[in-house]
Structure 1
Amino acid sequence: MTAGRAASRLRYSPAAFWRRRLSPWRTRRLLEAHLLVLFLLTAVAATALFLSCRQAQHGAEALASREAPAVQGLAAARLAVLRADQEAHALVRMNLIGVAGSGETYRSQLSAADQGLSRIADRTDQDLGTVKGLLTTYSNSLGLATSLYRDHPLMPEQKLQEAESLLTRESVGLTHRLDALQRVQLEHAEATATMGPWQRGGWWVAELALAAVALTLLSALFVLRDRCGRDWNPYLLAAFVLTVLLAVVPLMTTYSTVDDLGGALADLRQITDVSRREDGPGLAEAQQLVTEKSEEVREETAENAWTDTVYRGALVGSTLAIVLPVLGLGLRLDNDYWRRR
C-alpha cells in the first residue's frame, strides 16, 4: 500500500504534471521556431539567388547583344578606313585614276566602315556623330584625291595629303577618335563580363543562406521524427532536395558562364589589338582575323543562351523553397497543436 501511494503521489506530483504539460508546449515552440527561421532564411536565400542569377544573365545578354558587337564593329570600321586609305594611295601612286573600275576597293571599304558604324549606333552609349561626320568628310577628300585633274596633275597628291591629315591628325583624327571609342567600349565589355565584388558577395550570401536552410530542414525533420513520432515529412524532404539543387546548379552555371565570357573577352582584346595596325600589307589579313575572331565570340556568347532557362528555374525553385517548408511545418503544427488550443 505504501508503494502504491508513493507511485500515485509521483504520478500526480506537480513536477510530473508540468513536465507532461510543458513537453508538447516546448515541441510546438520548437517547431514554430524552425518554421520562422526557415521562412526568413529561404527569403534571404531566394532574394540573393534571384539577384545573382539575374546579374549573370544580364551580363551574358549585354555582352552578346551590345558590348561585343560594338567592339567588333569599331575594330572593323577602323581597319576598313585604313584599308581604304591604303587602296587610295596605291591608286594615285600607280596612276590608275580614270581607269575603268579603279577605286572600287577603297569605296567598298569606306561603305563598309560607314555601315558598320550605323549598325552599332544603337548598341553603344557613346556618341558616334562626330566620328561619322569625320568619316563623311574623309570620304569626300578621298573622292577628290582620286578624281581626274587634267590641268593640275599634282592635285591628287595634295588632296590625298589633306585626307591623310583628317585620318591621322593627333587627338582629333579619325583613327585616334576610333581608338578612343574602342578603348572605352572594351572597358564596358570588361565590366560587363567580369564578376565584381558585389556580385561575388551576393553569391556568398545566397550559398551561406542555402546551407543554413539545409541544416535547419534536417533539424526540423529530426524534431518531427523524434519528438512527434512522425515519418519523414515529404514537404521538408522535397525542400531539402530543392535547396541542394539551388545551391549547386545556378552556381555551376554562373561560373561556366563567367569562364565562357572570359574567353570571349580575351578574343575581344585580341580584336582590338589587331585593329590598331596603322598600315602595311597586313591590313587584309587583319580584317580576316577580326572576322574569324568575331565569329568565335558569337559562338562563345551563344553557348550561354541557356542561362535564361537556369534563371527561370532558379526563380521557380526559390519560390518553392519558401512554400514547401511553410506547408510541411504549417500543416503539421495545425494538425497536432494549433487546432487543440
Structure 2
Amino acid sequence: MLLLLTAVASAALFLSSRQVQSGAEALASREAPAVQGLAASRLAALRAHEEVDELVERKLVGVAGSGEAYRSQLSAADQGLSRIADRTDQDLGTVKGLLATYSDSLALGTSLHRDQPLMGEQKLGEAHSLLTREKVGIAPRLQDLQRAQLEHAETTTAMGPWQRAGWWVTELVLLAAALTLLSALFVLRDRCGRDWNPYLLAALLLIALLAVVPLMTAYSVQDGLDGALADLRHLTETSWQSAAGTEKAQQDVTKLSEEVRRELAGGTWTEPVYRGALVGSLLAVVLPALGLGLRLDHDYWRRR
C-alpha cells in the first residue's frame, strides 16, 4: 500500500509540475513573442504611411535619402512577421502578401508624385486603403491576429480545472502516503521493538518537501505568468491606441516588450526545482521499499 501511494503521488506530482513548466515555456518561447511581433509589425506598417504623408506634405519626395524612414518601417514590419512565423499557428501568408503590395504602392506613389501627381496620389490612396480598409486591411487583420494570439496565450497558461484537480490529487495522495509512513514507523518502533527506521524517516521528510516546495513554486510561477499576461494585455491595448501618435505607441510597446521578457526570463529557475521534484519522487518510492526490505531481511529472512 505504501509503495503504491508513493508511486501514485510521484506520478501525479510529475504531471502537475510538468503542466506548469510547459505553460511557462510556451509563453516565453512562442506566445509572448508572437503577440509582441504582431503589435510591432502593425505599428511599423502604420508608421510607414505616416512617414510617406510627411514626405508629401513637406514636399521632400525625390530628395536623396528622404524615403529611408518609411522603407525602414516597412522592412521592420516584414521582418517582424517573418520572425514570428514559426511561433504562431495562424496563417500570416495573406498579411505578408498584402504588406508586399502595400510596399509597392507606397514606392510607386512616392516615385510618381513628382512627375505625375495625380497618379502618385492615386497610388498613395490605394496604399492607405490596403492598410486601413475595415476587416480586410493590413492593420485590421493584424489586430485580429493579435487578439487571437493573446487569447491563445491566456488559454495556454491558465490553470484550468483539470490542472487544479491534478494538484489536489497530488496533495491528497502525498498526505495519505505520509500518514501511511508514520503508521509504518510507529508499528516498527512500538510493536516490533525497533528504533526509528532512517529510510522511512528520510522518505517522510522527502514527502513533506514534495508536498510544499513544488506547489509553492507552481503558484509562484503562475503569479509571474499572470503578471506577464497583464503586461501583454496592456501592450496590446497600447498598440491599438494611436491617439498619442504611432511613434509614441512604438516606444511604449518596446518598453512593455522588454518588461515582459524580463519577467519571463525570471522563470527559468523553476527547472532545477522540478528536476529536484522528479528525483525526490523517485527516492520517495525507493526509500520505503529499501527500508522495509532491509528490515524484513534482518528480522525474518536471515533467521531462516
TM-score, with structure 2 as normaliser: 0.97
Amino acid at match of 1:276: W
Counterpart in the other structure of 2:268:
305
Partners of 1:194 and 1:250 in 2: CA distance = 17
The alpha carbon displacement at 1:316 in A equals: 0.6
Amino acid at match of 2:185: L
Q: 1:67 aligns with which of 27, 31, 39?
A: 31
Q: 1:55 aligns with which of 6, 19, 22?
A: 19
Amino acid at match of 2:265: A
The alpha carbon displacement at 1:99 in A equals: 1.4
User: CA offsets, 1:144-169, max 9 Å, x none?
Assistant: 11114454222222111111111111
CA contact (8 A) 1:92 1:156 kept: no
1:336 aligns with 2:276: no
Alignment of 1:37-186 (within 5 A): 37-186=1-150
Amino acid at match of 2:120: P
CA contact (8 A) 1:92 1:157 kept: no
Amino acid at match of 2:5: L
Alignment of 1:11-26 (within 5 A): none
Amino acid at match of 1:134: L
User: CA offsets, 1:54-111, max 9 Å, x none?
Assistant: 1111111111111000000000001111111111112122221111221211111110
Q: 2:286 aligns with which of 323, 326, 334?
A: 323
Counterpart in the other structure of 2:181:
217
User: CA offsets, 1:152-207, max 9 Å, x none?
Assistant: 22222211111111111122111111011101110111012211111111111111
Amino acid at match of 2:39: A
Counterpart in the other structure of 1:245:
209
CA contact (8 A) 1:236 1:325 kept: yes
Q: 1:233 aligns with which of 181, 185, 197?
A: 197
Q: Where does structure 2 lack aligned partners over 5 or more consecutive residues? A: none
CA contact (8 A) 1:131 1:178 kept: yes
Amino-acid identity (%): 74
Partners of 2:231 and 2:198 in 1: CA distance = 49
Stretch deviating more after TM superposition (141-150 or 209-218): 141-150
CA contact (8 A) 1:98 1:148 kept: no
The alpha carbon displacement at 1:339 in A equals: 4.9
User: CA offsets, 1:260-305, max 9 Å, x none?
Assistant: 011100010011111113x555211111111111111111111110
3-state DSSP class of the match of 1:101? coil
Partners of 1:113 and 1:150 in 2: CA distance = 27
1:283 aligns with 2:246: yes
1:272 aligns with 2:236: yes
TM-score, with structure 1 as normaliser: 0.86
Partners of 2:77 and 2:171 in 1: CA distance = 48
Say if 1:169 and 1:231 are closer, same or farther in 2 by CA, change over 3 A.
same
3-state DSSP class of the match of 2:128? helix
Q: Where does structure 1 lack aligned partners over 5 or more consecutive residues? A: 1-36
Stretch deviating more after TM superposition (62-71 or 325-334): 325-334
Partners of 1:173 and 1:148 in 2: CA distance = 23
3-state DSSP class of the match of 1:147? helix
Partners of 1:45 and 1:322 in 2: CA distance = 9
Partners of 2:114 and 2:147 in 1: CA distance = 44
Counterpart in the other structure of 2:257:
294
List structure 1 segments (4+ residues) > 6 angstroms apart after TM superposition: none
CA contact (8 A) 1:144 1:156 kept: yes
CA contact (8 A) 2:33 2:87 kept: yes
Amino acid at match of 1:285: K
Counterpart in the other structure of 1:20:
none
Counterpart in the other structure of 2:163:
199
Say if 1:92 and 1:176 are closer, same or farther in 2 by CA, change over 3 A.
same
**Aligned-residue RMSD, C-alpha:** 1.3
Amino acid at match of 1:153: P
